[in-house]
A and B are shown apart, each in its own frame.
Chain A
Amino acid sequence: MAKKILLVDDDPDFIEINKTILETSGYDIDTAGSSAEALAKVRSTHYDLAILDLIMEELDSGFTVAYGIRENEKTRDLPILMLTSAEEKTGFTFELAKDQEWMKVDDYAAKPLKPAELLQRVQKLLQE
């Protein structure tokens, strides 16, 4: 059975791009455009991986989703790949997410990832 991945981004183009790459490689893709939608989906559906956009709308960030995933008993072990177009040096980004035990992300990368690199990271997280 194909592995199921949740793609979360408020930019429909990034959803479209990553969805196309992953679907071409045979993954089953679900999408969400806000953190509320994403959290509702992880609670009701089983995913093998979540790919989150770090900065979405104001007060609605990938951190919100990551925190929600780690906080919930059922989804605590869901692997998370955090993507962002924000500068790494803006400080509060990756380092924080990596170190905080309560919302540890498993991997992170700057957007956009080349198709081959995205697939490589996804495979690693899915232990394929």
Chain B
Amino acid sequence: MATTEGKILIIDDEEVIRSGCRQILEMSGYSVDEAENGLVGLDKIKKNDYDIVLTDIMMPEMDGMQLLEETSRLQKEMVIIVITGYATLENAITAGRKGAYDYLPKPFNPDELLAKIERGMEHRLHLHEVQMLREERDRNMLECSNERARTLTIINSMSEGVIAINRQGQIVLINPMASKIMRLSEGRAIGHTFDEIIRNPDLKKSIVDSLQEVQEDLKTTRLQFDTIYGRAIEASITPIIDENKECIGTVAVLIDVTEEKKIEKMKSDFMSYVAHELKAPLGAIEGYLNLIIDGIMAGKPETEREMIIRSRDRAHALIALINDLLDLSRIDRKKSLKEMRDLDIGEVVRETVDFYRNRADSKSQILQLDIDDNVPVIRGNREDLSRLFANLISNAIKYTPAQGKVTVNVKRTNSHIRVQVIDTGIGISREAQKNIFDEFYRAQNAVAKKITGTGLGLSIAKKIAEDHHGYIDVQSEENVGSTFQVTLPILKEE
């Protein structure tokens, strides 16, 4: 006996009807459950899934109408057929309104019962299909809206500006970055043609060309332009081609490259400055050599000797400049490639001061060194820090007249080591102090006094201090002296 045909619940207070129906239905392969009143029936409906509920209307405890009301709230996928002793139209309509699918008038014979049940089963199957379709549709709708929301979120979070334009030239999408770059609110752009919105003629032309694109493979046009707000923009314009190989619009991707351009310009300015600085001494040397070779100085050996000495000095300064440039590029190298070790700063400073003692002596200068007791070790690159102190001490000696004094202090505070280089030199004007750490900057009074320098020493010193998480500053008064101070943090053991 097949029991997979359908599951049926019979609710009736008359045992005879229940067992009669059960017999007929079970013989036809249905699986049957029974309940003697609405209350018991409702309980069973809650606990089981039935395909069909066959219920009497007149019953004690809970009648059929009440049962219909209760089951409609359960939202179960089942078919309810009411059995009614007095088969009035009125009862049937009321039951129908309350969710019954069909009614079976008493008395009924087995064929009538089976016919109703079969019809109910068909309806049940139909209901199931409808439900399945509805669920599938809901799922699709959810996926669709999720997909759309996801795509929009991605486009809106892009660091590139995106503008989509349809075949009619109307802007259909503009993401926040594009709004920012073009200084256009979404509201002012959407629906308007690019012609009224986009001002740059090159960008306009690329969009027009792109919209007329007919070839199959996507051709991206790249261009660069400046906005009227002074931003440098790199744009890629790509036509959107549909499956019929027709252009249905175009998408412009905009990247703000202002900062990159600035860095590029700084690099190229630096290069041309360096080229000029390298050529000037070579030009001077060549010029002097021309004079000597052409014999113009033949009658004046003293002047000729002076010119040779000048050439030697220029060559010497050129070597110093090249060394500084090499230092600069070495310091610019990745910090991670540098060897960092525990250093006694006092010792590094002492070595540097000792190295320059001869030079100070030759100018009859006093070079004094004071180092605090128990200066802690700090982590650093020895070569770089030696270079930093060497630059400050050699500057102090260079810019301090004979008989002057250069004092070097190493002090510790709670959290820092402070190295001061104090001189009694020509000093630096307030104006020049602002630029003194810039590459190639040279203070006017230094140039006027014909003190040679590359203009790189202090910028190198600043870089090294910053590489060690410290800083450098200067206090100075013209014709009184300068104090350069390097502050380095004492970092706790990690």
CB distance from B52 to the nearest CB of A (A): 93
Residues of B within 8 A of A86 (CB): 272, 276, 279
- Report yes or no: B290 in contact with A114, Cβ–Cβ below 8 A: yes
**Do A13 and B284 touch (CB < 8 A)?**
yes
State whether A115 and B296 are in contact (beta carbons under 8 Å apart), knowing that A13-B284, A13-B314, A17-B287 are contacts in the complex: yes
B276 touches A20 (CB 8 A): no
Q: How far is A13 from B450 in the complex, measured between Cα atoms in Å?
A: 12
CB-nearest residue of chain A to B313: A13
Say yes or no: A85-B296 contact (C-beta < 8 A), given A13-B288, A14-B284, A112-B286.
Answer: no
- Pick the contact of A111 from B287, B307, B310 — CB < 8 Å? B287
Chain B residues positioned under 8 Å from A55 (CB to CB): 276
- The bracket for how many chain B residues form the interface is 20 to 34
Q: How far is the CA of A115 from the CA of B279 in the complex (A)?
A: 19
Residues of chain A lying within 8 A (CB to CB) of residue B283: 14, 85, 111-112
Residues of A within 8 A of B450 (CB): 12
Q: Which of B284, B297, B447 contacts A20 (CB 8 A)?
A: B297
What is the CA–CA distance of A13 and B282 in the complex, to the nearest angstrom? 11
Cross-interface CB contact of A115 among B294, B303, B447, cutoff 8 Å: B294
Q: Is the CB of B275 within 8 A of A112?
A: no
A59 CB-CB contact with B under 8 Å: no
Question: Smallest CB-CB separation from A90: which chain B residue?
Answer: B272
User: Is A112's CB under 8 angstroms from B290's CB?
Assistant: yes
Q: Which residues of B240-279 have CB atoms within 8 Å of chain A's CB atoms?
A: 272, 275-276, 279
Interface string of A2-24 (1 = CB under 8 A from B): 00000000011110111011001
Interface residues of B in 295-318 (CB under 8 A from A): 296-297, 303, 307, 310, 314
Main DSSP-derived SS at the A contact region:
helix
Q: Is A87 an interface residue (CB 8 A)?
A: yes
Chain B proximity of A46: nearest CB distance (Å): 27
Chain B residues closer than 8 Å to A85, beta-carbon distance:
276, 279-280, 283
| Chain B residues, Cβ within 8 Å of A18 | 287
Q: Are B280 and A21 in contact (CB under 8 A)?
A: no
Alpha-carbon distance between A101 and B93 when the two chains are bound, in angstroms: 106
- Which residues in A have their C-beta under 8 angstroms from that of B447? 57
User: CB < 8 Å: which of A13, A57, A87, A90 contacts B310?
Assistant: A13
Minimum CB–CB distance from A13 to chain B (whole Å) comes to 4
Nearest residue, chain A, Cβ from B442: A57
A13-B310, A85-B280 known; A112-B287 Cβ under 8 A: yes
8 Å CB contacts to B: which residues of A16-72? 16-18, 20-21, 24, 55, 57
A11 touches B296 (CB 8 A): no
- B290 lies within 8 A of A20 (CB): no
Closest CB in chain A relative to B266 CB, distance in Å: 15
* Residues of the A chain whose Cβ atoms lie less than 8 Å from the Cβ of B272: 86-87, 90
Residue in chain A with minimal CB distance to B288: A17
Q: Which of the residues B276, B279, B287, B297 comes within 8 Å of A13, measured between beta carbons?
A: B287
Which of the residues A20, A87, A112 comes within 8 Å of B296, measured between beta carbons?
A20
**How far is A87 from B279 in the complex, measured between Cα atoms in Å?**
10
**Interchain CA distance A107-B288 in the complex, whole Å:** 23
B291 in the interface, Cβ–Cβ < 8 Å? Answer: yes
Chain A residues in contact with chain B, CB under 8 A?
11-14, 16-18, 20-21, 24, 55, 57, 85-87, 90, 111-112, 114-116
Binding site for A on B (CB under 8 A): 272, 275-276, 279-280, 283-284, 286-288, 290-291, 294, 296-297, 303, 307, 310, 314, 447, 450
23 examples of A-B residue contacts, CB within 8 angstroms: A11-B280, A11-B284, A12-B450, A13-B288, A14-B284, A14-B287, A16-B307, A17-B287, A17-B288, A20-B291, A20-B296, A20-B297, A21-B291, A21-B296, A57-B447, A85-B276, A85-B279, A86-B276, A87-B272, A112-B283, A115-B290, A115-B291, A116-B294
A13-B288, A13-B310, A115-B296 known; 9 other A-B pairs, CB under 8 Å?
A14-B284, A16-B310, A17-B291, A20-B291, A57-B447, A87-B275, A112-B283, A112-B287, A114-B290
